[in-house]
Amino acid sequence: MNIAAEYLAAIQGYGYTRTEAEFLYLVATHSGYFTQGQFLRFARVEKGGAASRFTEKVLRFRHGRTTRYGYHTLIYNLYSRLIYGTINKDNLRNRRRLSNDLIRTRLLILDFVLDHLEHQYLETEAAKVAYFHRKLRIPLSVLPGRIYKGIQSSANTKRYFVDRFPIFIPCGSESLFLPLAPTFVYCDPTEPGLLRYIGHLRTYEHLLNQLPSFNFVYAAANNTKFKRAGKFFARLFTDQGSLDSNRLLRYFKIRQLWEDHKTSALTRPDRQLLRDGDKRFHNQLFQDAYRRWAAANLSRTDLNNVLRRAKAQESRLFSTCVLPNDYDIFERRSKDYSTSQAGTISRNRSSRVGSSLASTPVPPNSLELH
């Protein structure tokens, strides 16, 4: 965890302790919602007055509001522009009221972050766009995004990474479990199917296929879907076909015909190979090789060297993470509380404290993952 000192000082200026300021920064950045149980875990204290004093401040200062859900659990929404503006994140949508479904997802996200504070997170949309587009030179059209229509004008705005799932670069001692590569996290709520997870991977598919290596972490409160999630990941990202110089050379020739507008010479299998090749030979190494081949007609030895370098670079690691709570508290909401009312919380039905991050390499010819 590396929070700028000026941000912590600014939050503390409202009357919070350093620990409380750190926690509020994490809430504002990653979720917008939290429970007293999450604060207790972060502060590493037993249940008692510390959490009550903290949440009383949040409500008294009108920085947050709260709602009571099932099992007498209070969920707090950090909504004040004062806090978000203080840390230069006043454009985040975390401060808004969300549906119960999204609140549950945000709580799962915060749980993951609290258990893995050592990593370097890309905290905002701007940071993610800067990393993938400006640093890695991936086209904006490939980044997962959504177009929002203007309310009072015909102008449209495209926002990127609107799902707010964590993306980080591994660092710290525990990063030995993950290669040094962009790491994408998906937090799955407690529902029987994998439709949302599959939709999420489809949304990120074009971006992930542009990366020579990446890690993907599937996080959930239990392991019942880990194996199925791993199988789908393997089908989507490891069934790439054989890599050989004949296939690469054929792709280069067909691509050149296409770019020279000599499409009448292309058969249906040629067009399919072109589509498959655009997905398979997408990274910068192959792009540079194509330009060199088009200019100087690379030898078979040169093409084999390109393939060896590509194979050495590629790594797509699927990992699983058990989260400490499934938040089965949203079936009924018992009472709304005003932002000025302090309130207390009865015992949260938190299950396991801490999480296990189990990394599993995805073998090219195997779908049995866990």
In 3-state terms, what secondary structure has residue 242?
Answer: coil
Question: Chain centroid to CA 183: how far?
Answer: 7
pLDDT one-digit tens code per residue, 130-189: 999 999 989 999 999 998 887 666 678 889 999 999 999 998 655 546 778 899 999 998
pLDDT the model gives residue 316: 86
Mean pLDDT of the chain: 84
- Does pLDDT of 39 surpass 50? yes
What DSSP line would sit under 97-152, residue for residue?
---HHHHHHHHHHHHHHHH-TTSEE--SHHHHHIIIIIIS---GGGS-EEEEE-SS
Report the candidate in 38, 25, 21 with the shortest Cα–Cα distance to residue 75.
38
**This prediction's pTM:** 0.75
The predicted model gives 223-236 an average pLDDT of: 93
What are the sequence ranges of the domains in the chain?
Answer: 5-239+315-361
Judge whether 357 and 148 are in contact, CB under 8 Å: no
Distance CA(360)–CA(358), nearest Å, equals: 7
Which ranges in the chain belong to alpha helices (H)?
A: 5-12, 18-30, 36-43, 49-60, 81-86, 100-115, 125-129, 195-210, 226-237, 245-259, 268-280, 284-296, 300-313
pLDDT, one tens digit per residue, over 63-79 is: 999 999 888 889 999 99
Q: Are 75 and 330 in contact (CB under 8 A)?
A: no
Locate 333 and state its tokens. Answer: 């909401």
Angle at 77 between CA 73 and CA 82, to 5 degrees: 150
Number of residues that this document lists for the chain: 370
